[in-house]
Structure 1
């Protein structure tokens, strides 16, 4: 007998009957709200070109590090999944064969958030009810391949079907934003904005840093041989992102939360050392810290919201990084100090209401000890939602439990999906809305929150907090 997916209407709600009923009533009011997706990594070319997605494997497997990291952990080589190599070494190109490997190993995702997201996409987006197995692999592949050729599965149609109000992509400071420009000229009403990601030109340990800085100067028309010219080039690019791609935020993927507040003279001298090409690890870390403070200074003027994503040992697997490059599922959480590391930036700008800094973390131990007290005090700080590894049912619950007592709800920014996997976006937001409604229902059941306040908070968490914090 063919096994079926079962997306129970009460999934993720509390088990206690009275609390579950409250959660149902809260969720009913927010389930169909528009999606605000203020931070993520979908490709702007999808929406600009509006071409059909190629095939199921390219859609579900290749771009999703949650998927291929699990498969790799069980000994499945990335070459066999069609993951491109840096040197162009041959990898599997038979997309059906790749899909069969995925299907044969779909059981590995049991109990993970990926199972929830994938099951939602298969059933709700493509209307497939039978479970993905080795036996059903080809039927899946054919069904999805055929669907992707229909107009209703084009990227813009899916954007509208998913009820997305706005989605943010993330581009390097060196990106020419041609796809965003094409979008703005297309007349399509969907809203796709960019986030300014300057890592390639502010991190001295980023590959080809000196060449990147030279390119920054070229495209910004600024002499980057001096620190003042370099800062002017960054300001120019930030404004370009605002003008061309409607950017409202910046995004900083630093390894730590360290910030600095050097004098102008010391910062200029440090800049000369890091662009010389012989930078020490200590100078590189100090420069990254100084640049976070410089970015905060720019944000006070131009209004871009800062996002800081520290706490990841990125590309931990050196062999995978050398062969396939960045973002292949080997980012590992590590302990992160926010209290001391953020103090130089907060001493200078933490009390300025013109600045919004959204902090993310992979270090859950910092929630109640550091992040909630900081965000519960400094006007410039807000807390981003549980980040990857923790953007899961239990992760979101732990986040709410540890953060809310000290920071409240209004010093957080709702939810963002932070994904490259476009078809998982409705599922990810649905999971967050269900978990948040369950959390609010428990507060109501314990007589810690009035039901009318809970309804208002459910709307804030699902929709308004993200829209407000990111100035969308």
Structure 2
């Protein structure tokens, strides 16, 4: 059988092939948002088998397997790793037209040189072959990242984290720059049952007792400073929606005092507190020249039975249908009016919000900065061929595609980096089709420059990351 992942995979025209192979393919990767386990990178871990590196923790695969009716013991349960892999292999042929089908075979090809289709019959041989390769030091966590021509990886890190693994990597001779990202959801989510415990831990780490809004602001600044010293230049927020209500500091003080006293607070008071914290954080990000990422719109942990059995990030989240425009506009405007709006990337989980987010991004600009507020790449459920095309088309129609900072993996899997290749192929194919139809001038050099910008150069300029390349 002719191999599925070929050199011109997804490239439908000669123009697309030229754009991809000459301008996109060899660009370094800046993966500016991921959930890669930094401890496994720092320890340069070798994995015992393909299940542990490829299926364990991958809720995309878990969802597909559950949809096929596979028992949970073969997904997150006590089945052997080989049995779990076999069940995944049986699932793959049924995932046609799901992005998992493309990703699976792209990853097998790029990391393991396997071009055979994965199914129930090929599973055993592929499992043995990959496991044998994983024994080789070339397949350690650091080498798997390095072989994908990665320049920078940004992980996702709680303000409570001591960042010791990032420090370990920074002091090593590892050529890929692995940087932390500040993810302060724990101190924003005042309504959560563990909020007070979270603040108490922050107090212990910083040596500052949190008794009011002023002391909380001092703690936040101290942690932002610490992250900055350790190379952090991005923050990330996972919110159902933005918060931009009017507030005074006296109101915030009262609300925080009530919560610290374990008193109940209203939904309106929750919104006031969250707005205030987002403003404080935004001001600090602007001061530090960080980029603020807002991931908005999902409903998380909807299946409480699975949540109880497996825990969070189990693959039972969904697209939400929140109204974003008014509150998002207000938050960005509050920061902008105070001259403290940081560079920002907006990500929507609901495709119906594409135009809302794209127009919102265009409202707030900065002199000397290409697209200071970005309409971010297709995210989560939208991170597939059609979703990527829709995002690129919306950005092209409403903003400037040429200013985009491109793709990210948002993944927990060390084998997910070919998703950058996937994005680049989709981008080049779209532009190639436009060239073929006469919608763009036949100027490959100029359009190729735009491709280079989107796939690498814009991100390098936008994020201004420290020590972007180290000597190995």
Match of 1:86 in 2: none
Equivalences for residues 190-339 of structure 1 within 5 A: 190-244=176-230, 246-277=231-262, 278-339=264-325
Secondary structure (helix, strand or coil) at the match of 1:72 reads helix
Structure 1 range deviating more: 221-230 or 254-263: 254-263
Structure 1 range deviating more: 251-260 or 167-176: 251-260
Aligned 8 A contact 1:257 1:311 in 2: no
Equivalences for residues 9-158 of structure 1 within 5 A: 9-14=7-12, 20-28=13-21, 29-81=23-75, 83=76, 91-158=77-144
Measure the CA separation in 1 of the matches of 2:436 and 2:114: 37
User: 1:388 is matched with which residue: 380, 383, 398?
Assistant: 380
Aligned 8 A contact 2:160 2:202 in 1: yes
Which runs of 5 or more structure 2 residues have no equivalent in the other structure? 366-371, 466-472
Q: 1:406 to 1:122 in 2, by over 3 A?
A: same
Q: CA deviation at 1:37?
A: 0.3
Secondary structure (helix, strand or coil) at the match of 2:327 reads coil
Secondary structure (helix, strand or coil) at the match of 1:423 reads coil
User: 1:433 is matched with which residue: 424, 438, 443?
Assistant: 424
User: 1:445 is matched with which residue: 436, 453, 464?
Assistant: 436
User: 2:453 is matched with which residue: 456, 460, 464?
Assistant: 460
Structure 1 residue 471 corresponds to structure 2 residue 464 = yes
Deviation string for 1:259-297 (max 9, x for gaps)? 234211112222223333334444334422332222112
Measure the CA separation in 2 of the matches of 1:148 and 1:247: 31
Measure the CA separation in 2 of the matches of 1:320 and 1:4: 40
Q: 1:247 to 1:261 in 2, by over 3 A?
A: farther
Structure 1 residue 159 corresponds to structure 2 residue 153 = no
Measure the CA separation in 1 of the matches of 2:243 and 2:402: 25
Measure the CA separation in 1 of the matches of 2:103 and 2:296: 25
Q: CA deviation at 1:76?
A: 2.1
TM-score scaled by structure 1?
0.91
Structure 1 residue 184 corresponds to structure 2 residue 184 = no
Measure the CA separation in 2 of the matches of 1:72 and 1:469: 40
Measure the CA separation in 2 of the matches of 1:77 and 1:107: 18
Secondary structure (helix, strand or coil) at the match of 2:155 reads strand
Measure the CA separation in 2 of the matches of 1:256 and 1:439: 31
Measure the CA separation in 1 of the matches of 2:298 and 2:150: 29
Aligned 8 A contact 1:61 1:67 in 2: yes
Q: CA deviation at 1:449?
A: 3.2
Deviation string for 1:28-86 (max 9, x for gaps)? 121111111000000111221112023211111112111011111222233322x3xxx
TM-score scaled by structure 2?
0.91
Match of 2:347 in 1: 360
Measure the CA separation in 2 of the matches of 1:378 and 1:347: 8
Larger relative contact order (Cα-Cα within 8 Å, sequence gap ≥ 6) = 2
Aligned 8 A contact 1:310 1:336 in 2: no
Aligned 8 A contact 1:253 1:309 in 2: yes
Structure 1 residue 399 corresponds to structure 2 residue 391 = yes
Deviation string for 1:374-412 (max 9, x for gaps)? 212211521110001111111111111122111112553
Q: CA deviation at 1:372?
A: 1.8
Measure the CA separation in 2 of the matches of 1:284 and 1:144: 50
Deviation string for 1:408-452 (max 9, x for gaps)? 125532111111111121x20111101111222233334443323
Secondary structure (helix, strand or coil) at the match of 2:380 reads coil
Structure 1 range deviating more: 218-227 or 434-443: 434-443
TM-align CA RMSD: 1.9
Q: Give the total of aligned pairs.
A: 454
Q: 1:256 to 1:353 in 2, by over 3 A?
A: closer
Which runs of 5 or more structure 1 residues have no equivalent in the other structure? 15-19, 84-90
Deviation string for 1:188-230 (max 9, x for gaps)? 2321001011111211234511101110111012121111111
Measure the CA separation in 2 of the matches of 1:177 and 1:194: 8
Match of 2:368 in 1: none
Secondary structure (helix, strand or coil) at the match of 1:268 reads helix
